Amino acid sequence: MKGAQRILTLIWLLIISYLLGSIPTALIVGKLGYGVDIRTLGSGNLGGTNTFRSLGFTAGLIVTVIDVLKGSIAAALPYTMGVDINPMLAGLPAVLGHCYPIFAGFRGGKAVATSAGVLLLYSPFCFIAAASTFFITMYLSKYVSLASIIAAIIAHTYAIFFGDKVLSIVTFALVVFLLWRHRSNIERILNGTERKISWM
Kindly state whether residue 199 falls inside one of the protein's structural domains.
no
Kindly state whether residue 197 falls inside one of the protein's structural domains.
no
The mean pLDDT of the chain is 95
CB 70, CB 90: distance < 8 Å = no
- The number of folded domains in the chain is 1
Res. 58: pLDDT tops 90: yes
Kindly state whether residue 48 falls inside one of the protein's structural domains.
yes
What does the pLDDT look like over 62-113, one tens digit per residue? 999 999 999 999 999 999 999 999 999 999 999 999 999 999 999 999 989 9
Q: What range does the domain containing 169 cover?
A: 3-191
Res. 1: pLDDT tops 90: no
Res. 2: pLDDT tops 90: no
Rounded distance, CA 131 to CA 70, Å? Answer: 17
What does the pLDDT look like over 133-147, one tens digit per residue? 999 999 999 999 999
CB 13, CB 85: distance < 8 Å = yes
- Strand locations in the chain (E): none
CB 21, CB 114: distance < 8 Å = yes
Res. 11: pLDDT tops 80: yes
- C-alpha distances in Å from residue 16, one per residue of 63, 75, 180: 20, 11, 25
Rounded distance, CA 140 to CA 130, Å? Answer: 15
Kindly state whether residue 196 falls inside one of the protein's structural domains.
no
- H or E element in which residue 120 lies: helix 112-122
- C-alpha distances in Å from residue 162, one per residue of 155, 167, 173: 11, 10, 18
Res. 200: pLDDT tops 80: no
